[in-house]
């Protein structure tokens, strides 16, 4: 009896220990049996019952929220427990307890605090970790607030976070160095798109500080290419304590595009590590951040088509090593082109030390010698954020018109008016605009098609009637938006330079007149020559009278001669 009791006690202790080590078992509730059960729910395929995951559960079936969840500080919100999981927030909210003692960098529940920023905070709204973590997760339409970190990922590849609102997470004080909106540690091929990430806080300074909207941590080396090939797109990253986005420790090959990063305490977009290589940073609006717009120590990055304005001190800073020269060193061989970088109190563009091989071309700024155009006479430029061929309609500040009304779209760029033509040729934009796309986050919502006019018959004259229509970006080369003067662009012998054929029933020269009605075809009427004056015919009687008259005249002349 005592032995059996000992076994039971030992089993219970082991179970408690196991739960403590791995987190709460997925003891999710049965809503079919208990109508008060709510959370992230799914239908059990074996019995048709509705089951719901609650705070602290491990999710092994895709689920949809049916209400808000409020979670205690003792665990995570929800943990991803299988590949291919989709969590659909359906517009609902998961709220944590930000005063938790579990805001340290310790996702694995060990008793000793791990201070490395490679490990997201334990008390996160959604957590996905492991060696590796679970892959192909989708988190969408979910609001996450008041956790240490909103979403914590470690080695969880191909994760998508889309259309979420992640805000007011983090903690100040000793445990706040690992608190962020999204903490991505050693993850590859993830997509963070169309989210609003704001008011997240933390503590510390430099590249290990807490309070970033998005924090990325990577690794490089044999078998350790982590933190690579991620896409950060169309997010609104604002009012975070440190940076909108900050990356450290060898994150490479990442794309950051079409984001609005503003009002952050340190910088807007900051791939700070010396090993931040091969990034593409383009089409972002980066403004009103407290120190920097964009700062990097990395190399081989492409920085193009961004609008970086009114950040407090420096717009763009590239920190290069003083030596040795390439192939060693950092902050080298970056390409900076077609950006507007204006309105900064220290410098629009700052380069330090060696500045090895960095190329600056066709930019607008007020840094002497760094740009082709200055910051005078800036005009708005409108881009195609969703790639559907239609350019943004709204002038500023619109969201993606999704479930939580989040993300960033339609934010116009700026460029010097004299260089705007070159800029839009290189960056695929229009000016002065705006365009016609009412939702430039969604490629299924199109703008108003335009007509274009081409020379389809190759006679050198543009058609006077539309040759086609569609998105502005779809106009074929050589065509134009205004009508030409070719009245029939299917016949190369019909155009304003042709000769009118007066007998074919066609307006060959496009003057609106056909055949005999065309002045070119009317034969002018010649001026008639007056007939010669007629000489009266002489009749026999007339001849006789003339002869008598002649003889009479002769007789008179002879009498006068005899009288003399």
Structure confidence by residue, pLDDT tens digits, 253-272: 999 999 999 999 999 999 99
Q: What is the enclosing helix (H) or strand (E) of 13?
A: helix 2-22
Answer with the one of 485, 512, 539 that is the final residue of a domain. Answer: 512
pLDDT 10s digits, 63-97: 999 999 999 988 899 999 999 999 999 999 999 99
Answer with the one of 263, 282, 313 that is the final residue of a domain. Answer: 263
Structure tokens at 458: 């190759």
Q: In angstroms, how far apart are the furthest CA atoms of the chain?
A: 202
Answer with the one of 263, 282, 307 that is the final residue of a domain. Answer: 263
Residue 172 lies in a domain: yes
**In total, how many domains does the chain have?**
2
For 542-554, the DSSP string reads HHHHHHHHHHHHH
**Local structure of 452: helix, strand or coil:** strand
Residue 141 lies in a domain: yes
Residue 216 lies in a domain: yes
The CA distances from residue 186 to 69, 175, 298, 399, in Å, are: 29, 21, 18, 30
- Whether residue 470 is predicted with pLDDT greater than 90 in this model: the reply is no
Residue 143 lies in a domain: yes
Q: What is the pTM of this model?
A: 0.81
Triad 163, 167, 171: Cα angle to 5°: 145
Res 538: pLDDT: 67
Domain ranges, residue 458: 454-512
Residue 218 lies in a domain: yes
Res 395: pLDDT: 63
Once rounded to an integer, what is the mean pLDDT over residues 344-350? 95
> Cα–Cα distance between 59 and 86 in angstroms, integer?
9
- Whether residue 3 is predicted with pLDDT greater than 70 in this model: the reply is no
pLDDT 10s digits, 274-332: 889 999 999 999 999 999 999 999 999 999 999 999 999 999 999 988 766 667 788 89
pLDDT 10s digits, 139-177: 999 999 999 999 999 999 999 999 999 999 998 776 678
Res 496: pLDDT: 94
Asked if 379 and 432 touch (Cβ cutoff 8 Å), the reply is yes
Strand order from edge to edge, sheet including 364-365? 69-70, 93-95, 143-145, 165-167, 196-198, 236-238, 260-262, 285-287, 307-309, 340-342, 364-365
Q: What is the enclosing helix (H) or strand (E) of 154?
A: strand 149-154
- Whether residue 549 is predicted with pLDDT greater than 80 in this model: the reply is no
Task: Name the residue among 30, 22, 70 with its Cα closest to residue 51.
Answer: 30
Residue 498 lies in a domain: yes
Phi then psi for residue 521, to 5 deg, are: -105, -10
Residue recorded with tokens 């988190």: 139
Residue 66 lies in a domain: yes
For residues 389-403, one letter each, b for 16 or more C-beta atoms within 10 angstroms of the residue's C-beta and e for the rest, the string is bbbbbbeeebbbebb
Between residues 421 and 110, the one the model is more confident about:
421
Residue 85 lies in a domain: yes
Phi then psi for residue 558, to 5 deg, are: -70, -40
């Amino acid at each position: 009896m005592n032995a059996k009791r000992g076994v039971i006690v030992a089993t219970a202790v082991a179970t408690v220990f196991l739960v403590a080590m791995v987190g709460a078992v997925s003891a999710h509730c049965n809503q079919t049996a208990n109508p008060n059960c709510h959370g992230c729910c799914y239908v059990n395929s074996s019995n048709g019952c509705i089951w719901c995951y609650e705070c602290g559960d491990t999710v092994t079936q895709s689920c949809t929220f049916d209400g808000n969840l409020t979670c205690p500080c003792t665990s995570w919100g929800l943990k991803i427990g299988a590949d291919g999981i989709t969590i659909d927030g359906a517009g609902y909210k998961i709220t944590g307890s930000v005063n938790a003692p579990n805001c340290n960098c310790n996702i694995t529940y060990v008793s000793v605090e791990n201070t490395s920023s490679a490990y997201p905070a334990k008390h996160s709204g959604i957590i996905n970790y492991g060696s590796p973590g679970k892959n192909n997760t989708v988190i969408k339409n979910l609001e996450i607030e008041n956790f240490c970190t909103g979403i914590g990922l470690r080695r969880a590849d191909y994760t998508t976070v889309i259309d979420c609102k992640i805000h007011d997470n983090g903690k100040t004080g000793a445990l706040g160095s690992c608190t962020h909106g999204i903490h991505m540690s050693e993850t590859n091929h993830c997509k963070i798109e169309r989210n609003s990430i704001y008011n997240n806080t933390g503590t510390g300074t430099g590249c290990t500080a807490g309070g970033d909207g998005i924090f990325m941590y990577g690794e490089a080396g044999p078998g350790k290419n982590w933190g690579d090939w991620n896409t950060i797109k169309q997010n609104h990253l604002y009012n975070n304590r440190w940076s909108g986005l900050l990356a450290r420790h060898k994150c490479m090959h990442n794309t950051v595009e079409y984001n609005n990063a503003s009002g952050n305490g340190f910088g807007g977009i900051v791939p700070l590590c010396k090993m931040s290589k091969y990034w593409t940073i383009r089409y972002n609006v980066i403004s009103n951040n407290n120190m920097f717009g964009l700062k990097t120590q990395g190399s081989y990055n492409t920085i193009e088509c961004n609008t970086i304005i009114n950040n407090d001190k420096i717009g763009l800073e590239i920190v290069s090593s003083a030596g040795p020269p390439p192939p060693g060193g950092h902050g080298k061989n970056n390409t900076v082109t077609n950006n507007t970088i204006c309105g900064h109190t220290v410098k629009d563009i700052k380069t330090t030390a060696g500045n090895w091989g960095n190329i600056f071309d066709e930019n607008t700024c007020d840094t002497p010698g760094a740009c082709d155009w200055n910051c005078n006479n800036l005009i708005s430029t409108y881009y195609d954020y969703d790639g559907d061929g239609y350019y943004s309609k709204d002038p500023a500040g619109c969201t993606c018109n999704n479930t939580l009304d989040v993300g960033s779209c339609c934010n116009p760029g700026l460029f010097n008016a004299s260089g705007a033509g070159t800029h839009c040729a290189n960056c695929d934009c229009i000016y002065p605009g705006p365009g016609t796309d009412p939702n430039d986050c969604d490629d299924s919502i199109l703008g108003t098609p335009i007509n274009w006019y081409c020379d389809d018959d190759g006679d050198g004259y543009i058609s006077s009637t539309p040759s086609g229509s569609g998105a502005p970006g779809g106009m074929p080369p050589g065509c134009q938006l205004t009508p030409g003067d070719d009245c029939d662009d299917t016949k190369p012998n019909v155009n304003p330079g042709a000769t009118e054929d007066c007998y074919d029933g066609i307006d060959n020269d496009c003057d609106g007149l056909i055949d005999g009605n065309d002045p070119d075809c009317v034969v002018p009427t010649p001026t008639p020559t007056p007939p010669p004056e007629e000489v009266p015919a002489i009749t026999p009687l007339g001849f006789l009278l003339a002869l008598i008259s002649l003889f009479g005249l002769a007789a008179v002349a002879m009498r006068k001669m005899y009288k003399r």
